[in-house]
Amino acid sequence: SAVISQKPSRDICQRGTSLTIQCQVDSQVTMMFWYRQQPGQSLTLIATANQGSEATYESGFVIDKFPISRPNLTFSTLTVSNMSPEDSSIYLCSVEGDNTGWANEQFFGPGTRLTVL
C-alpha cells in the first residue's frame, strides 16, 4: 500500500482565516480524494482531486470554500477558506491505486484535525 502523509497534523485557527492542508504520497496515483469526518460521524467526500484538471466537488461543497490543487501525481492540497467553527473537523486525503496491484483499494492519510475558534 501507499505511504501517505499529511501536513499539518492538527491546527487551531481563528474564524475568517484560511488553512491549506497538504497530502503527499510516495508513489504516483491517479485518484486522490478529500474527505471530512466530524466527531463520531462517517466519512463525507468533499471532492476528487484530478491531476491536470479541476477538482470534482460533491453536493454541498464548492470550490470557493474548498479550493483544491493537484499539481502532480503524488501531491494535492485542500484549502479551507474563510473558516467558521462549523469547519472544525478532521480532514483526510485518500488515494486509489492505479494498477492491478491495488486498483480500487483506497488508503487514507493520517488526517488533519482542525479546530476553528
Partner 1 sequence: GENVEQHPSTLSVQEGDSAVIKCTYSDSASNYFPWYKQELGKRPQLIIDIRSNVGEKKDQRIAVTLNKTAKHFSLHITETQPEDSAVYFCAASRGSTLGRLYFGRGTQLTVWP
111 is a contact residue toward partner 1 (CB under 8 A): yes
Which x/- pattern, by CB under 8 A, does the window 18-37 give for partner 1?
A: -------------x-x----
Strands 56-57 and 44-49, by their bridges, are antiparallel
Pick between residue 83 and residue 92 the one whose CB is nearest to partner 1. Answer: 92
Strands 75-80 and 89-96, by their bridges, are unpaired
Quote helix, strand, coil % in the chain, to nearest 5. 5, 50, 45
105 is a contact residue toward partner 1 (CB under 8 A): yes
CB of 108 to partner 1, least distance (A): 4
Which residue, among 94, 98, 106, 77, has the nearest Cα to 18 in the 3D structure?
Answer: 77
Q: Enumerate residues 47-66 that contact partner 1 by CB under 8 A.
A: 48
Q: Evaluate the omega torsion of the peptide bond into residue 67 and state whether it is cis, within 30 degrees of 0.
A: no
Binding-site member from 7, 13, 22, 45 for partner 1 (CB under 8 A):
45
Binding-site member from 49, 74, 77, 109 for partner 1 (CB under 8 A):
109
